Amino acid sequence: MSEKDQAPTEKRLRDARKKGQIVYSSEVSAALVFLVVLAAIGSQAPRVFDTLRGLFDAMFAAMAARDPKQSISTVMSLALQGWLTLGIGIVVLAGAAGLAVSLAQVGGLVAFSRIAPSFERLNPASGMTRLFSMKSVVNLLKTGVKTLILCVTLWVLLRGSLSAPLQAGYLRPDAILAVTGKLLLSLAGWAALIFVAFAALDYAYQQYAFLKQHRMSMDEVRREHRESEGDPHMNSRRRSMAHEMVFNSLQDRVKMASAVIHSANAAVALCYAGKGKLPWVAARGEGETARRIVEWAGEFLIPTVADGPLAEALYESAREYKYIERGLYGRVATVLRWADGEDVPT
């Protein structure tokens, strides 16, 4: 079997798309959803800050209250209400963003073959093969590396900001929130860069893997070309048969002609049904076709007249199965009378 070292053809890629096989990167979706969520949180930053400040105030008030249990219950209720109000909107936005990104990547593709029931998917052996496939290993390594980089980034940021949290016990709640917010902002910025970098690398890898998976051998390329364009030998044979059919049909029409008028380059076979009828063109041609018409007229004993100007005028003015033009009636009538044995054209 020849080596698959040829790039996939457009037809191979179209067929793969119909089966639901496309370049798709989950990292691109994750990165864009993460950016949308960050933007949403950033747009609600004042509201988040006010909610946190209110919770801090309520918490300190609860600690000084006579009935801490009731106060703590109130604080938890406020916290739940505040975070639900913010969280539901962000979750809905994240879901919509994820759906939009997925649709953008698949281009509105709906492949029922991907969701149709298949016994192969229920086969434990096939499941184990997919579990330990190269794609699964790459995805596992990718997730591990990204998690490791995020953890290292978090540790570096915490280490650099460790002195501030240690002093947090001596700061007012507003200052504590400012320190925490600065730390979270730095972490979000670095996380966004990491997500975007992984998305770009993963998309490039997915495209490479997709094209590699659909590479073709030279035999497959030739076979597809024959199926799409047709075998050159068969195409030549079909053209030859079509040529023969055209000339056979032309020969039959010349056979029923009343007269043939020709020049050095053109020939026109005319049919005339008798008095009261108009002559019409049964066959016409130039070059090789004209030579064939004159040759067949001789074989079928069809009266033939060499009249260059008249033949050219008939060829240019009348189409097959059409009557001749009125201006040529007189000259054609002379030829037809001669063909009928009445007169000789001059």
Residues 195 and 244 in one domain: no
Residues 28 and 166 in one domain: yes
| Total of domains in the chain | 2
- Sign of the CA dihedral with 13 first, then 15, 16, and 20 last: positive
What residues contact 112, with CB distance under 8 A and at least 6 apart?
none
Domain that holds residue 262: 234-339
Using one digit for the tens of pLDDT, what is the confidence trace for 247-283?
557 888 888 889 999 999 999 999 988 777 889 998 9
Whole-number pLDDT of residue 332: 92
- Whether residue 257 contacts residue 297, with contact meaning beta carbons closer than 8 Å, is answered with yes
- C-alpha 142/C-alpha 81 separation (Å) is 37
135 located within any domain: yes
CATH code for the domain in which residue 296 is found: 3.40.1690.10
Residues 111 and 128 in one domain: yes
Weakest-pLDDT range from 164-168, 298-302, 326-330: 164-168
| Residue 91 main-chain phi, psi, to 5 deg | -65, -45
Where do the H-state alpha helices sit in the chain?
A: 10-18, 26-43, 45-63, 68-106, 112-115, 119-122, 124-131, 134-160, 163-166, 173-213, 218-229, 232-255, 288-299, 308-317, 329-339
4 located within any domain: no
Residues 247 and 124 in one domain: no
| Encoded amino acid at 28, one letter | V
Residues 182 and 106 in one domain: yes
Whole-number pLDDT of residue 345: 46
**pLDDT surpassing 70 at residue 212:** yes
Residues 283 and 146 in one domain: no
3-class SS at 216?
strand
107 located within any domain: yes
1 located within any domain: no
5 located within any domain: no
Residues 185 and 250 in one domain: no
Whole-number pLDDT of residue 245: 47
344 located within any domain: no
Residues 267 and 187 in one domain: no
Half-sphere exposure of 97 (CA within 13 A, CB side): 19
Residue that terminates a domain, selected from 226, 260, 288:
226
2 located within any domain: no
Residue that terminates a domain, selected from 226, 253, 275:
226
Residues 145 and 41 in one domain: yes
Torsion angle defined by CA atoms of residues 64, 66, 68 and 71, in that order, rounded to the nearest 10 degrees: -90
Q: Which residues face 204 on adjacent strands?
A: none
Residues 240 and 305 in one domain: yes
274 located within any domain: yes
Which two tokens mark 25? 């990167």
Residues 170 and 274 in one domain: no
Residues 239 and 210 in one domain: no
DSSP letter for 217, please: -
Using one digit for the tens of pLDDT, what is the confidence trace for 157-210?
877 665 555 554 555 666 666 777 777 788 888 889 999 998 999 889 888 888
Residue that terminates a domain, selected from 198, 226, 254:
226
Higher pLDDT, residue 324 or 107: 324
What residues contact 207, with CB distance under 8 A and at least 6 apart?
23
- C-alpha 35/C-alpha 267 separation (Å) is 78
Using one digit for the tens of pLDDT, what is the confidence trace for 14-38?
888 777 778 888 888 888 888 888 8
Radius of gyration of the chain (CA): 43
